[in-house]
Each structure stands twice: as structure tokens, then as C-alpha cells.
Amino acid sequence: MITFAGVTKRYPDGTTAVDDLHIEIPTGRITVFVGPSGCGKTTSLRMINRMVEPTSGSIAIDGRDVRAQDPAVLRRSIGYVIQQAGLFPHRTVVDNIATVPLLLGWKKAGARARARELMELVGLDPEQAGRYPHQLSGGQQQRVGVARALAADPPVLLMDEPFSAVDPVVRTGLQDELLRLQSELRKTIVFVTHDIEEAVRLGDSIAVFRPGGVLAQADAPERLLAEPVDAFVEGFIGYDRGVRRLSFFPARLLDLHTDAIVGEGAPIARAREVARSSGEPWLLAVDGERRPRGWVAARDLERGAVGSVDAVGDLDLVGYGHVFTVATDSLRAALDAAVLSPAGRAVGVDEEGRVVGVVAQTDLGSAIWAVGTDDAPTTRPVGRNG
């Protein structure tokens, strides 16, 4: 655990970068410092490895004051990743990664072997070991940066806007990679970003800073989205926090209807009967393996409109849009599928893509209303839209 106790950083020109910060950063979790520029989030991060010394207050890692150690020794036990990666342009990828082990006095062969292990861990092609940083893409450079920070297996990892300089697609990939790594490594990670989306995606807990270096709110991401403490936090989180909060609730909470589903081979008369008994305005046609085929409007089944068609599958079906996976997706994904569906209904499928059931926008509304008062969501966003 990293403990900030009344930490203040004031510069000689009178500006206060960090103002009386009290926060506990739990071991083995990702804590995100987020806020607009000039809010002291980076300064706070850099005080952990003594790149910046506090004016007053103290910082302890597992109860031990960071100032009790020689800064260089302390820093070798803390991984550090920054925006431009900070790779040494004159060293190859493998030697960049081996930097800290070599500083710690490892033998060159051992350090390099460790570096190669890490390249694999962060998803770098071993063929790139002998390359120089400028020969890599931005995303690859960041992977090297992360590998280098992990090389000596430090318990603590500080990450200062590490993914801000890469394009959005690569950034999402790197974020996924970080979560995957963290599920294996369980490091104590402090992650600084100005992007609230990134904070929500990565953080086990989020500390929102306001300009002037004051901590505004520190909470689990879902709590933050549900109950911002004040207008500043609410404004910083953004207008669609309600929808984003749905990411924290699994779609399996939904009641799915199965009574308005017909096989594509069923005769029109059978479909009319299903429509009448369920009272649903839309029926979902499925194939022999229960995969979705498309929507049929109940009123289109009236005698005159059908013409000479015999089976449901021969009608002009309305496209079913995209589906959500019941077991792994969030309410947000289900809502999104329903909003985009021409029938106003979302199709829930299992992992093989077979239809589990459908849910109408109106039913989603009541489910969302129900979770609004639910205090026990998951701690992590669910599924791909998280």
C-alpha cells in the first residue's frame, strides 16, 4: 500500500501543485489519478519515486517512508512508464529492457534473457530484440517502455499518461494488454491520465484531482459515475456518465423473452399464432441452430400483406442489427443493441451466437431503473464496451 499523508507541494514562485493530499493506494490494484492539466496528478505520481520532493507531508510504501531510501535505490524498485516512452535511442530494444537489471548488478546474459522473457510477456516479436527504438511504431515503443519498467519485477509501477501519444485504436489495444498483464502480475499500479474514459476502463479506483492540486473524489469507478461529489467532478466525468455507468452491470441481470421467436421454416399461419399469443409486435426469426435471421412485424403477417409466401424465412426480414452476449456483456451493450435495432429490441445470444432471448427497450428501461438503486455492481466494466 502507498500512503500519502498530508502531502503538499509548493513551488518557490508560490504556485501550489499539490495541496494536502491524503490517499491510500491499495496493493495489487490499479489506481488512476485523473484530472485536467495543472491539477497536480503528475506531481503526485512523481513524488512517489522522489522525482519531486514534497514541501510537507510524507509518502510511505508499505509503511516505509520513501525518504528513508537513497533516491536511486528507491527508483530501481519502482517501474516508471512515461508518455514518450523515454526509451534510450542509442540502445537496442533488448538492452533498453535490460537497463534496470543491469543497474542492479545482474550479469549481462541474465539481464538479456530476462529482457527477452518480458518482450514475450508484453507481446513483442522476438525478432525486434536487436532493433533501435526509432525503428518501432509508437505502440511498440510503449510496449518496450512497459517491459522495461517491469524488467526488475518491481512491486510498484508508476505510469504517467503512457498511452496518450498513440492513436485511439492502438491505445485500446494497449489498455487491454495492460489489463491482461495486471491479471497475471498483480502489481500496485498508479496510472495518471487526463482521459476519464481511460480511467474508468483501467482503474480499480479513481482519484479525481481539481486544479490547484486538491483531491476532489477518490472512489471505485462505478461509485464515481453514480455519485460524483460535486459539480466539478460531474462536469469532468462528462454528460453521458449515466449510460457509461451501465458498463458496470452485467447483461445477465435482464429478463429475456423467448415467446416471440419462430423458426425460419415455420409456416405463416404458425407465426400468426405466435404473434397473437405473445402479443408482441415483432417476432424474431431464427435458423435451425437458433441463430438470428431477422425481424418480422406482426402486422405484416396479415393475410393480404404476405402474398404467396409459405414460410417465415421467405418473407422480407428486417435486419436484426448487432447482438449482445448475455453471459459476458454489460447492460450498456444491451442498451446499445436495442437502440440501434429497427425493432426496438435487442437480441441476446450465447457464446456460440445462438439466440437466448430478446429484450425490448421498455424492459431495459425498468432494468436500468432497478440497477440505479443497486449498490452491488461489479468493480470492473463488463465486456467489450466497458
Partner 1 sequence: MGDQPLVRWDWITGNLVDPIGTRLLEHLQLSLSPILIGLLLAVVLGVACARWRWLYPPVFTGVNVLYAVPSIALFFLLLPYTGFGPWTAIIPLSLYTLAILVPNVVDGLGQVPDHVRQAAVAMGFSPLRRLVQVEFPIALPVVIAGLRVAAVATISMVSVASLVGLGGLGQLILTDGFRRQFTTPIVVGITLSVLLAFLVDGVLVLAQRLLTPWTRDHGAAAGRGSARRGEGART
Distance from C-alpha of 294 to C-alpha of 283, rounded to nearest angstrom: 9
- Tell me the window of 7-15, 97-105, 274-282, 374-382 that interacts with partner 1 (CB under 8 A): 97-105
CB 200 within 8 A of CB 167: no
Cα–Cα distance measured from residue 192 to residue 33, given in angstroms and rounded to the nearest whole number: 5
Residue 21 neighbours by CB distance under 10 Å = 25
Out of 71, 212, 235, 365, the only residue in the binding site for partner 1 (CB under 8 A) is 71
Binder to partner 1 among 18, 100, 157, 346 (CB under 8 A)? 100
SS3 56: strand
Does residue 75 interact with partner 1 by CB under 8 A? yes
Contact, 151 vs 120, CB < 8 A? no
Bridge partners, 25 (sequence order): 2
Binding segment for partner 1 among 85-93, 110-118, 119-127, 166-174 (CB under 8 A)? Answer: 85-93
Give the count of residues interacting with partner 1 (CB under 8 A): 29
Q: Which of 31, 43, 49, 188 binds partner 1 (CB under 8 A)?
A: 49
**Residue 279, Cβ neighbours under 10 Å: how many?**
9
76 is an interface residue for partner 1 by CB under 8 A:
yes
> Whole-number minimum distance, CB 1 to partner 1, in Å?
21
Q: Which is closer to partner 1, CB of 134 or CB of 303?
A: 134
Q: Of 204, 173, 172, 171, nearest to 187 (Cα)?
A: 204
Closest CB 117 distance from partner 1, rounded Å:
18
Continuous H helices in the chain: 41-48, 71-76, 93-97, 99-103, 108-121, 138-150, 168-185, 196-202, 221-226, 231-237, 241-245, 268-278, 303-306, 331-340, 361-371
Minimum CB distance to partner 1 smaller for 63 or for 89 = 89
Question: Residue 86 or residue 263: which is nearer to partner 1 going by CB?
Answer: 86
Contact track, partner 1, 171-210, x by CB under 8 A = ----------------------------------------
265 and 349 Cβ atoms separated by less than 8 Å? no
The residue (of 151 and 343) whose beta carbon lies closer to partner 1 is 151
Angstrom distance (rounded) from CA 236 to CA 222: 15
Q: Give yes or no for residue 132 binding partner 1 (CB under 8 A).
A: yes
Stretch that binds partner 1, among 129-137, 190-198, 210-218, 268-276 (CB under 8 A): 129-137
| DSSP assignment string, 100-145 | HHHHTT--HHHHHHHHHHHHHHTT--GGGGG--GGGS-HHHHHHHH
Nearest distance, CB of residue 85 and partner 1, angstroms: 7
Q: CB nearer to partner 1: give 190 or 358.
A: 190
Does residue 143 bind partner 1 (CB under 8 A)? no
Per CB under 8 A, does 137 bind partner 1?
Answer: no
Instruction: Return the residue of 5, 51, 170, 327 that touches partner 1, per CB under 8 A.
Output: 51
CA 22 to chain centre: 26
Minimum gap (Å) between residue 99 Cβ and partner 1: 6
When asked if residue 72 is in the footprint of partner 1 (CB under 8 A), the reply is yes
Contacts of 206 (CB under 8 A, 6+ apart): 31, 32, 34, 199, 200, 218, 219, 220, 221, 224
Residues that bind partner 1 (CB under 8 A): 49, 51, 71-76, 78, 80, 82-92, 99-100, 103, 132, 134-135, 148, 158
